[in-house]
Amino acid sequence: MDIKELLIDGFDIFIRSICSVAVLFIISKLMGKKQISQLSFFDYIVGITIGSIAAQMAFDDSLHYYETIIAIATYGLCDVAIAISTNKSIKLRRFFVGTPTVLIYNGKIIEENLMHSKCDVNELLSESRYNGYFNLSDIKYAIFETNGRVSFLPYSDKRPATPYDMDLKVEQEDLVANVIIDGNIMYNNLHSCGKDENWLKNELKIQKYNNIKDIILATCDNNTLTVYKKTYNKKKLDIFD
């Protein structure tokens, strides 16, 4: 194989890879936003299968573009159709997604439900520690969710105290809005806070920031502007040496 053929093959793989990435991007947009922890087992399998088909599309020149695109689109549309149907029907949701399973009830471990969920005691202990409970005697209920995680409800006297428990009145917090990111003003976020550019520049002037480009992040919370300045230090800071 000469250099010309290598270049042609390499360019073909490059084009196929770009096409597969584009198709994956479109399908992921259609399938919607989900965190890894929110994926059902079926979503997980569909994702792996689509990725495998897209990878094969990139390097297998015996496959036509339309064949792999149709296969990916079919899997993606099936996942979307199932997601829509499970949102509209409780029976279909139970069939495709399943139902939560109680693992601890009134402080007692339900061994039959552990076996049914394919979850052993070690996994239960690991999940409880992950959620901050190092003693199972503190837990009244534990529920194995359909996404594979375990939710815990501790006894009332074992949970952290809240201002409500202590009869304290606290000011309600609002969402923090990012009004400057990487030296650029986020006008929509600024207006959602009921502020304008003049207010922002005046607050920056009070805090002695003269150039917006020197600011990596600025947030607005309860009429308070918090500013984080760029350091311009290319040396990596490592406190764990």
- Residue 72 CA to residue 54 CA, distance in Å, equals 7
Q: Which helix (H) or strand (E) holds 64?
A: none
- Residue 21 CA to residue 39 CA, distance in Å, equals 21
What mean pLDDT comes out for the span 36-64?
A: 79
- Residue 238, pLDDT score: 60
For helices 41-59 and 65-88, angle between their N-to-C axes, nearest 10 degrees: 170
Please identify which residue in the block is written with the tokens 């299968």: 49
Residue from 139, 142, 136, 133 nearest 113 by CA: 142
- Residue 199, pLDDT score: 92
Q: Is there a shared CATH topology between the 101-158 domain and the 177-229 domain?
A: yes
User: CATH top-level class for 101-158?
Assistant: alpha beta
- Residue 29, pLDDT score: 81
In 106-234 the beta strands, taken as DSSP E runs, fall at 108-109, 139-144, 150-154, 177-181, 184-185, 215-221, 224-229
Q: Which long-range contacts (CB under 8 A, 24 or more apart) does 113-119 make?
A: 113/144, 117/144, 119/144, 119/150
Decide if 225 contacts 179 (C-beta within 8 A).
Answer: yes
Residue from 232, 230, 203, 196 nearest 215 by CA: 230
Render pLDDT for 95-150 as a digit per residue (tens, 0 to 9): 888 889 999 999 999 999 999 988 889 999 999 999 999 999 999 999 998 878 89
- Residue 239, pLDDT score: 56
What mean pLDDT comes out for the span 86-90?
A: 85
**pTM of model > 0.95:** no
Domain-by-domain residue ranges, the chain?
A: 3-94, 101-158, 177-229
Q: What angle do CA 228, 234, 239 make, to 5 degrees?
A: 75
Topology of domain 177-229, CATH: CRO Repressor (3.30.240)
